[in-house]
Amino acid sequence: MVRFIFPALTAGPPSRRNWYKELLDHPDCAENSTRVREAYESHREAYSANQTKAFTSATTNPVTPDQALIKQLDRQKRLAVLPNGTSLPAEDDLDSQDVNCLVIWARPPPSVISLIQDLQQRIASLVGPDLHLIPSKDLHLSVIELSHRHSVPHLRSVADDIGTSRIQNILDLVLTFPQKPHLVSPQLGFDKMGIALNFLPLDSDRYTYHHLRSDMHALALESGVGIDMCYTAPSAHITLGRFIGNSFFDVEESREKFASRVQEINEELRKRFEPNQGGSDFEWAVAGDRSLELQLGYLKFGRERGKADMLGKI
């Protein structure tokens, strides 16, 4: 049987469309957990193949340093040395800019953080200072977006329209089921901006990670608020690092070494964690050790849990 594929939507204006439910209701899926996993796996494999080809066949440097991250790192350095009572110039006030997001995050458990730290060092030892590693305290999985790329005042108005009680119910929805959904099969993926660890929903879960996303999104839509999302691909990933330079990738041999290192690590992950490859089970129960959280603000590069606007129950 042909593997199930479900395409991502193009990001657009606020909408009351529940894209997650459309995947589950697709006639070739019919809420079949195996098909849900296939949708995520098909997307992951296609994206990985495209990016690997783009890197290894490029005649020019394929990496684009993240200018927003470069500015943010500079901003943080300047903030650290400012005298008490002083602030950065007005142009550095991100709250007023359309760069902020309103999202619900899950935090990886210690076992996943430990794995990520190992993978970060293995990639950084090859790429060097061109790669900025996301600190462990900022690592996160974006479960759903409620509003994307607006000023902080606009996002607060969206949160108010959805309502504190409803947002709390969205954060706590994962507790209403007898078993929390699981993510499995970690694999590295990359593009011209950075590198991430990508997971698949566990197909033996009757209620998968994607079902959770669909139901959370539906609860938000019940408020009457239109939701604008940036990223609608069937994907569950944690960003490990973003490129702040590209000198390493100037040379074709280096680009091939990078792609080979990622492929080598992914083969190891398959052998280590996938039972059909002789490995042991790897399962991450989403919100298993720490609740889901609502984050509002400049979140492009992660933020610690202590700055969350709201926390779910655990």
C-beta pairs of 202-205 under 8 Å, 24+ apart in sequence: 202/33, 202/37, 202/283, 203/33, 203/34, 203/36, 203/37, 204/33, 205/33, 205/179, 205/181
What number of other Cβ atoms are within 10 A of residue 96's Cβ? 12
Specify the CATH architecture of the domain 19-74+95-305: Alpha-Beta Complex (3.90)
**Averaged pLDDT, 86-96:** 77
The full set of domain ranges for the chain reads 19-74+95-305
Whole-model pTM? 0.94
Sign of the C-alpha dihedral computed for residues 99, 105, 110 and 115 taken in this order:
negative
Burial label for 105, CB within 10 Å (0-12, 13-18, 19+), is buried
Q: Residue range 37-61: average pLDDT?
A: 93
- Count of CB atoms within 10 A of residue 206's CB? 12
How do residues 258-313 score in pLDDT, each as one tens digit? 999 999 999 999 999 876 655 566 889 999 999 999 999 999 999 999 999 999 99
- Which tens digit of pLDDT belongs to each residue from 99-140? 999 999 999 999 999 999 999 999 999 999 999 999 999 999
Average pLDDT over residues 62-89: 84
Q: CA-CA distance, 226 to 149, in Å (whole number)? A: 14
Average pLDDT over the chain, rounded to an integer: 91
Total Cβ atoms within 10 A of residue 31? 17
DSSP category for residue 198: E
Cβ atoms of 167 and 296 within 8 Å: the answer is no
Element (H, E) at 236: strand 236-243
Confidence tier at 1 by pLDDT (50, 70, 90): low
Q: Evaluate whether 133 touches 124 at the Cβ level (below 8 Å).
A: yes
298 and 99 in contact (C-beta within 8 Å)? yes
The two structure tokens encoding residue 218: 């539906």
